[in-house]
Amino acid sequence: MANHLFDGLLQNANLERAFAQLDDGRWYTYSHVMEVSARFANMLVKCGVQPGDRVAAQVPKSIEALMLYLGTVRAGGVFLPLNNAYTASEVEYFLDNAGPRLFVCDPARRPEFEALSDKLGVRLETMGVWKNPETSAGSLLDAGIVAEPEFDTVDRGPDDLAAILYTSGTTGRSKGAMLTHDNLLSNALVLKDLWGFTEDDVLLHALPIFHTHGLFVATNTMMVAGGRMIFLPGFKVDQVIECLPGATAMMGVPTFYTRLLDDDRFTRELTAHMRLFVSGSAPLLAETHIEFEQRTGHRILERYGMTETNMNTSNPYDGERRAGTVGFPLPDVDLRVCNPDTGEELGKGEIGVIEVKGPNVFAGYWQMPEKTREEFRDDGFFISGDLGKVDDDGYVHIVGRAKDLIISGGYNIYPKEIELLLDEQQGVLESAVIGVNHPDFGEGVVGVIVPSNGQVVSEDAILSAISDKIARFKQPKKIYVVDELPRNTMGKVQKNILRDTYTDTFTT
């Protein structure tokens, strides 16, 4: 037996070849990947991590953070990355629910998490961004640097858990999607072949790595290809434009591409050598597709995935990439569109809920067996909650989200969590939260509030009151105060009417 994911990811690695070029001037080879991930695996074992234990991490993006992920896999643990924007109260839920053996946080945030880790009985270590040997970058990183560079990788099979990623629920309670070794490896192998990645490719990586897109789609795919990354701490237009000449491919969210198009330096000449631009995590407007192709001569490849499934579909690498579609189901992925109430499969062009089945589909929700059963059909298909259709040529279209999911800047946001917070505020009777088109973020969060009788509610006061209660990317970008919310005869708020009413909030 071997470690299915780790061995699979590094199967094509040439230890002497470069793995990552870092913005601080360092170069990582695949030999460094083997060595540093071993050091982290040794440190995790010393921290008490045993096979199956969860390792939660809310740390800045760095190559060492990526090695922590690989070290967790090597040690047989289950990696649980957390969005850096989450507040302490949000993190408390994840730690309480997942019960990790270890929580790794940014050194700057240790004071706010010490009492929480003691309360929950979770060991706390810190890790920041390494700068030089004379400066501490956190307790785990400092210890990891001097740990043994060899490790007997723990045996784990295809069905063992490799990661848990939390995805919000419409009830406001987040769900931990359990991803197995084979969920992650099978998807990376398919994408490598489908998108033509080889050891000669250089991926410009500006995505966060607490998210499926940046951690699994980007880094896992490059590892199985034996290719290289230009590994940036985040997306900055100047830095991306400076690094593009050294890359062959880029993965991004729509915001990346709209911001590049806003810069006159982003030209056909700058991108002439590029092989591939991929977009995902949020819908790409048809206008962006058209403008990008006119400016660069490249047609962006759009695909569709979920936290629970990794990638499900992709526009073709060789073939027509249709704006407004997410292409075809990946090899080994079965996709169908069904009536959300009856489960009956619908015909071409009919809109229904998208359901998928394949080796990419997760093992269920952590400690939520009932919810897991609700989300799967008896024949094994996962009910995505996304509304879509398949056209006569087989292209999949995403037309909406049955659960009112908002995707802003590539991040999933569920309205219920924000509505519960808004409803708690002084002077607020009730609220509704929607997503409307935003030229930069894909969708922008809009809050619609009904004040209590006789109360005066201001947008600024509400935004100020919730600023430290919820991650910034979830906070409404605009709040409207109205006399009442539109409802149907059953009393349900008609969010479609609200979306129509406020559709031009960010586009006029």
Select the more confidently predicted residue: 3 or 90. 3
- pLDDT of res. 132: 78
- pLDDT of res. 287: 80
CA–CA separation, 263 vs 243, rounded Å?
15
Read off the pLDDT of residues 30-83 as tens digits, 9 standing for 90 and up: 999 999 999 999 999 999 999 999 999 999 999 999 999 999 999 999 999 999
Does residue 93 register a pLDDT over 50? Answer: yes
Ranges of CATH 2.30.38.10 domains, the chain: 276-401
- pLDDT of res. 197: 98
Residue 489 pLDDT level (bands cut at 50, 70, 90): very low
Does residue 462 register a pLDDT over 80? Answer: yes
Read off the pLDDT of residues 291-321 as tens digits, 9 standing for 90 and up: 999 999 999 999 999 999 999 999 999 999 9
User: Are the beta carbons of 26 and 32 closer than 8 angstroms?
Assistant: no
Tokens of residue 345, six digits: 């499969």
Ranges of CATH 3.30.300.30 domains, the chain: 406-501
Does residue 90 register a pLDDT over 80? Answer: yes
Residue 398 pLDDT level (bands cut at 50, 70, 90): confident
CA–CA separation, 397 vs 377, rounded Å?
22
pTM value? 0.84
Contacts of 52 (CB under 8 A, 6+ apart): 76, 77, 78, 160, 161
- pLDDT of res. 169: 47
Lowest mean pLDDT segment, chosen from 118-132, 383-397, 435-449, 491-505: 491-505
The owner of tokens 């069904």 is 338
Q: Write down the architecture of domain 406-501 according to CATH.
A: 2-Layer Sandwich (3.30)
The percent of residues above 90 in pLDDT, for the chain, comes to 77
- pLDDT of res. 329: 98
Does residue 490 register a pLDDT over 70? Answer: no
Ranges of CATH 3.40.50.12780 domains, the chain: 4-13+28-181
Helical residues (DSSP H) of 226-333, grouped into ranges:
237-243, 254-261, 268-271, 286-296
Amino acid present at 51: P
Lowest mean pLDDT segment, chosen from 40-54, 91-105, 115-129, 271-285: 271-285
CATH superfamily membership of 4-13+28-181? ANL, N-terminal domain (3.40.50.12780)
- pLDDT of res. 419: 87
- pLDDT of res. 254: 85
Q: What is the dihedral of CA 408, 413, 418, 420, to 10 degrees?
A: 160
Q: What is the dihedral of CA 131, 137, 143, 148, to 10 degrees?
A: -30
Amino acid present at 270: L
- pLDDT of res. 130: 85
Number of residues that this document lists for the chain: 508
Average pLDDT value for residue range 126-136: 85
DSSP one-letter code for 461? H
CATH class of the domain comprising 276-401: mainly beta
Read off the pLDDT of residues 147-197 as tens digits, 9 standing for 90 and up: 999 999 999 999 999 999 998 544 457 899 999 999 999 999 999 999 999
Read off the pLDDT of residues 261-274 as tens digits, 9 standing for 90 and up: 999 999 999 999 99
Helical residues (DSSP H) of 262-411, grouped into ranges:
268-271, 286-296, 369-375
Average pLDDT value for residue range 329-355: 94
Read off the pLDDT of residues 230-243 as tens digits, 9 standing for 90 and up: 999 999 999 999 99
2-18 per-residue burial string, b: 16 or more CB within 10 A, e: under 16 = ebbbbbbbbebbeeeee
State the average pLDDT for the chain: 92
DSSP one-letter code for 216? I
Name which of 90, 83, 92, 89 is nearest 57 in CA terms: 83
Residue 135 pLDDT level (bands cut at 50, 70, 90): confident
Integer CA distances (angstroms), 396 to 314, 404, 431, in order: 9, 19, 34
